[in-house]
Each structure stands twice: as structure tokens, then as C-alpha cells.
Amino acid sequence: MSEICCGLRVGQDVPDFKIETFEPTKGDFGEISLETLKADKKWTILFFYPAAFTFV
């Protein structure tokens, strides 16, 4: 039986995404996409930690 998983594995490409960001030095919101980061040749670290920044 094969295991079905929707996560990424080492070596797989991350799908493009856009997220809303807050730039504290400017005090303003903006948007960034993985496509933009790749075009600018920026290193990017993605992490997901459920409930890490939620208020309880």
C-alpha cells in the first residue's frame, strides 16, 4: 500500500505563492511572491509552525 502525502520532499520545487507582509521599518503592508524572490536571486527559508503566532 502506498502512502499519500501532500507535503514536499527534499529536492522538490515549492509552488509559487503570494503572501501579505508587514514591513516594520516602513510601518506599512505589502505583498511578496516566491516568483519575485527567485527573480531577485534571493535565498528564501520557509517554515511552518502551527499555532506559533496565534493568540490563545
Query: DSSP state, 37?
Result: H
| Amino acid (one-letter) located at 12 | Q
44-6-48 Cα angle (round to 5) = 40
Query: DSSP state, 25?
Result: T
Residue that wins the pLDDT comparison between 52 and 1: 52
Residue 2 above 60 pLDDT? Answer: no
- Mean confidence (pLDDT) of the chain: 79
pLDDT digits (tens, 9 = 90+) for 5-28: 567 788 888 888 898 888 888 889
Residue 35 above 90 pLDDT? Answer: yes
Query: Which runs of E-coded beta strand occur in the chain?
Result: 18-23, 28-33
- Which residues are paired to 18 by β-bridges? 33
* pLDDT the model gives residue 3: 52
Q: Domain spans of the chain?
A: 15-41
pLDDT (mean) for 26-44 = 90
Q: Which of 50, 36, 40, 46 is nearest to 12 (CA)?
A: 46
